[in-house]
């Protein structure tokens, strides 16, 4: 294959890398016809299914997240307790490690008792941190002149949005967490759709490039 053929194999707007052999793919999009296509499609499908699951059964997702965290803490606590007991038998320091293991187990059990409540409280805490962060950024932007008048406009936007989030969290924290779940769901659905579209377009470009190369070879 000549250098011109290698150049024809590259999609438009994509330059070959000087660090790779001529026949190697320059990106995943140039290799979508060799199995990568289905990997990207499956990623997109899983993201869409997860987003739909969050939209349809947000309570079930909240419980699943809480159960997962609880199980992880219990397993990690048991392993930490076993490690501390081994250190005790060897005459090494073990008290704090065993205390941490017991604390992990206790926390995991408490979360398993009310996994949905744990997820809601965690979501509320994250939203409060987000609101305070936006409020601080907005106040600092009001005093900034880096973007001229836009700095003050963006600062006002941050402050107003932060106040709205705080009011919603104070009046109805459950609604705020539900809104957060909706945002996550919409994001994952859009991401999954974009992945599938990229995979289909990449495979289409790959097929058209191969057919044009074969026609050039026959000529």
Q: Does pLDDT of 109 surpass 90?
A: yes
**Which residues contact residue 85 at a Cβ distance below 8 angstroms, ignoring those fewer than 6 apart?**
94, 98
Ranked by mean pLDDT, the top range of 91-95, 142-146, 180-184, 186-190 is 186-190
Q: Any idea where the domains of the chain sit in the sequence?
A: 43-206
Q: Does pLDDT of 207 surpass 50?
A: yes
pLDDT for position 75: 92
d(CA 179, CA 172): 11
Burial of 85: CB neighbours in 10 Å, binned 0-12, 13-18, 19+: middle
**Quick check: pTM over 0.75?**
no
Residue % of the chain over a pLDDT of 70: 73
Q: What is the pLDDT of residues 23-35, one digit of tens each?
A: 444 455 555 555 5
Q: What is the pLDDT of residues 47-57, one digit of tens each?
A: 899 889 888 88
pLDDT for position 16: 46
Pair of tokens at residue 71: 């199980």
Q: Does pLDDT of 20 surpass 50?
A: no
Q: How confident is the model at residue 215 (pLDDT cuts 50, 70, 90)?
A: low
pLDDT for position 48: 93
210 or 21: whose pLDDT is higher?
A: 210
């Amino acid at each position: 294959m000549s250098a011109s053929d290698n150049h024809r194999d590259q999609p438009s707007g994509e330059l070959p890398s000087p660090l790779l052999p001529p026949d190697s793919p320059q990106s995943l999009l140039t290799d979508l016809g060799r199995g990568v296509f289905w990997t990207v499609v499956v990623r997109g499908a899983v993201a869409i299914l997860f987003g739909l699951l969050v939209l349809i059964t947000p309570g079930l997702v909240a419980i699943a997240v809480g159960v997962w965290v609880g199980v992880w803490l219990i397993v990690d606590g048991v392993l930490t307790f076993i490690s501390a007991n081994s250190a005790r038998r060897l005459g090494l320091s073990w008290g704090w490690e065993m205390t941490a293991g017991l604390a992990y187990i206790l926390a995991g059990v408490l979360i398993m008792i009310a996994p949905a409540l744990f997820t809601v409280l965690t979501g509320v805490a994250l939203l409060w941190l987000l609101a305070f962060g936006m409020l601080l950024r907005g106040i600092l932007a009001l005093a900034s002149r880096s973007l001229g008048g836009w700095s003050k406009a963006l600062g006002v936007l941050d402050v107003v949005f932060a106040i709205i989030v705080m009011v919603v969290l104070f009046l109805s924290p459950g609604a705020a967490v539900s809104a957060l779940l909706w945002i996550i769901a919409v994001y994952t659905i859009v991401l999954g759709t974009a992945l599938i579209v990229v995979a289909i377009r990449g495979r289409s470009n790959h097929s058209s490039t191969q057919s044009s190369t074969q026609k050039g070879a026959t000529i």
